[in-house]
A and B are shown apart, each in its own frame.
Chain A
Amino acid sequence: MRECVNGAGSSAIRLDRVWMTYHTREAETVALADTSLAVAPQEFVAVVGPSGCGKSTVLSLVAGLIKPTSGSVEVCGEAVAGPSGHVGYMLQQDCLYEWRTILGNALLGLEVKRAVTRESMEMVRRMLAAYGLGEFERHYPRHLSGGMRQRAALIRTLATRPDVLLLDEPLSALDYQTRLEVSEDLYRIMRAERLTALMVTHDISEAIAMSDRVLVMGRRPGRIRSSHTISLTCERQTPIGRREAPEFRTYFNAIWKELTEDGRAVAGGGQRAGECGWAPAAV
C-alpha cells in the first residue's frame, strides 16, 4: 500500500471532470462543476475558497464517502469505489471518543479494519511516544489539551498507514496559539512520514504556510480557479518559519484578491474596493 507514496504513479490523487450534484426536496445543488485536479505523490496541496464552495465535497469524494454524479476520482491510480486503506481523513473536530483512552482512540481505525495485532499496537504506541503522548496513552481525552488531542487524532489517522491524508480544516477548531503549535506538529509529521496531503481551509495564511501548492476555488458551483505553486525563501521550512519569508505577503495578496474579486463578482457586479464605504449616502 505504500508504493503510491514512493512515487509509482504520476498522481496520488486525481479528479477528472468531476460533477457533483446534491438533491434535497427543496432544491438541486451543484456543488462541483467540471472540476479537475491532481496531487503528486508527497505533495501537500491546500484548497482555499469561500464557505460552501464545495471544498469539503472534494475531500468526501476522495475519501470514497460519496460518489460523483459524473467524472472520475482516483487515488493511487485506482478508481475510488468506497472508503479504502489508501486514505486517512482528519476532521475539523478531533472527534476523540471520551469513553476510550488515548491508546484506544489511536487504535480505532485499526480496530475497524480488524488489523490490531501485537505489531500494529507496538507501532501505535511508538508513534504516541514519538509525538509526546507516550505517558498519556492510558489517559482519557478530557485530560489532554486541544493541541495534544489533535495530535492524538492525527496518530489515529496515521495508524492505518494511509498513502494520502485528507485534512478538513484540521486546525480551525483550535485557538490561535494552539493552532500554530499544531500546524508545526502536523507539518513535521507529514514530512517525516512522506505523506501526500490535500488540505481544505479558508485560512489563506495557513494554506501558504503549510503547502507546496494552493488551489483557489470559486463560489458555487465549485471550480478550481487557479493554482499557486508556493516557493518561499526562508531558513526554517516550518509553518512558522515560512510565514517570515518575503514572498509570503505576495502570495497572500494574490490569493486574497482572487477570493474577494470572486465574491464581489457574485455579490454585486464588480464594485471597486472602498467605493461604497465612502460614497455619500444622501442620494
Chain B
Amino acid sequence: MQASAGGRPQLCSRCGRARRAHGPGQSDRFQSSREHEAFLRGLARRRMLVGTARAVLLAAFVMLWEVAARQGWINAFVVSQPSRAMATAVSMARRGDLWIHLGMTVGETAIGFTVGTLIGIVAAVMLWWSDLLSDILDPYIVVLNSIPKVALGPIFIVWLGTTVTAIIAMAISISVIVTIMMVYVGFREVDPDRVKLLRTFGATRLQILSKVVLPASVPVMIAALKVNVGLSMVGTIVGEFLVSKAGLGFLIVYGGQVFNMSLVMSSVILLSIVSVLLYYGVSALEQAVLRTRE
C-alpha cells in the first residue's frame, strides 16, 4: 500500500483523495486504520453470526417442537406444543388473569430480594461492628447457610398462614444469609489503608462505617442484589407452590394438577422471561453505579 507509485497520483480507495494527499507520515496511520477497519468488520461479522445462530437455534427448537407435536411424534397432551402454549397465554392476557399472576410473582420476588438484601446488609453491619459478635455467630451462620431454606416453607406457613406474607418470608429467607456472607466479606476487604486514613483524622466507628466501609462496598451490595434476584425468585415460586391462589408458581402447580400442560409450559416460559428481565434490570443498575467508579 504505497502512498504513490511511479509519480502518477493514485486515488485513495477510502476517501477518494489522491493518496499523496495523506503524506508519508499519515500513510502509516492510514494503513493501520485500514487494518483497524478490517478488525472492526471482523468483530461485527462475528457478532452477527452469533446473533443469527442464537435466533436460528431458538426458531429451530420451537418449530421442531411444533412439528413433532402435530405429526404425533411426541404426545402433545404431555409436552404441549408452542402454538397451544401461546394460545393459552394470549387468552389469559385477554381475560386479564395473566397480569394478575405476573404482577403477583414479580411483586413477591421484588419485595423478597429488596428486603432480603436490606436485612442482610444490616446484619452484616452488626457483624462488622462487633468482632466478638461475628465470632460467636459464625457457626450459626454456616448452619443457616447450609440448610435448604425451602425446607423451612411449612414453618412459615404455620407461623404466617397461607398468605402472601409466607411467600415473601420464603423469598427473604433464601436470600438473606447469602447477602450477610457476601456483604460481610466485602466489608472486611475494604482497603485497610483507607480505614487507617480515617482513623488518623480521629474518625469514630460510625464515621468509618458511613464514610468508607459502606460506600466502598456498594459494588458488593449490588452483586448481592444480583444474586438475590435469582434466589428470591426460587423462594417465591416454592412459596407459591405451597400456598398461593395466584402467581406463576400457582399456575404451574395448578396446570400440573389438572393436566393442562399448555398452562404449565406457558407459565414456565413467562417465568424465564420475567426472571431474565429482572436480572437485566439489576445489571443495568449495576452498570449505572459502577460507571461512576473506577
Contact = CB atoms under 8 A, between A and B. Distances in A.
A112 B207 contact: yes
B197 A89 contact: yes
Contact of B201 (A93, A109, A142): A109
Nearest to A65: B199
B286 to A, nearest CB: 15
Interface residues of A, number: 26
B220 interface: no
Contacts, number: 58
Interface string B175-200: 00000000000000001011011111
B203 interface: yes
B137 to A, nearest CB: 21
A206 B292 CA distance: 36
Contacts of A142: 293-294
A87 B200 CA distance: 8
Contact of B193 (A65, A92, A109, A141): A92
A82 B191 contact: no
A112 B197 CA distance: 11
**SS class of chain B's interface: helix, strand, loop or mixed?**
helix
Contacts of B227: none
Interface residues of B, number: 20
A111 to B, nearest CB: 7
Interface in A65-107: 65, 82-85, 87-89, 91-93, 95, 97-99
B282 interface: no
B215 A99 contact: yes
A93 B191 CA distance: 10
B216 interface: yes
A84 B211 contact: no
A272 interface: no
A160 interface: yes
B196 A91 contact: yes
A82 B203 CA distance: 11
B278 interface: no
Contacts of B218: 99
B201 A113 contact: yes
Interface in B209-247: 211-212, 215-216, 218
Contacts of A83: 199-202
Contacts of B207: 112
Contact of A91 (B193, B211, B212, B215): B193
Contacts of B193: 91-93, 95
Contacts of B294: 98, 141-142
A237 B276 CA distance: 65
B234 to A, nearest CB: 33
Contact of A160 (B198, B201, B215): B201
Contact of A112 (B194, B196, B201, B293): B201
A130 B112 CA distance: 52
Nearest to A82: B202
Given A91-B193, A99-B293, A112 B198 contact: yes
B215 A95 contact: no
Contact of B211 (A82, A111, A160): A111
A140 B290 CA distance: 13
A174 to B, nearest CB: 15
A108 B212 CA distance: 10
A169 to B, nearest CB: 11
B285 to A, nearest CB: 16
A63 interface: yes
B236 to A, nearest CB: 33
A61 B218 CA distance: 32
B188 to A, nearest CB: 17
Given A112-B211, A142-B294, A97 B200 contact: no
Contact of A113 (B202, B211, B215): B202
Interface in B278-294: 292-294
Nearest to A141: B294
Nearest to B203: A112
Contact of B196 (A65, A85, A141): A65
A140 B167 CA distance: 44
Contacts of A87: 200
A99 B203 contact: no
Contacts of B197: 89, 91, 95, 108
B98 to A, nearest CB: 42
Contacts of B194: 95, 97
Interface of A: 63, 65, 82-85, 87-89, 91-93, 95, 97-99, 108-109, 111-113, 140-142, 160, 166
7 contacts: A83-B199, A87-B200, A89-B197, A99-B215, A99-B216, A108-B198, A108-B201
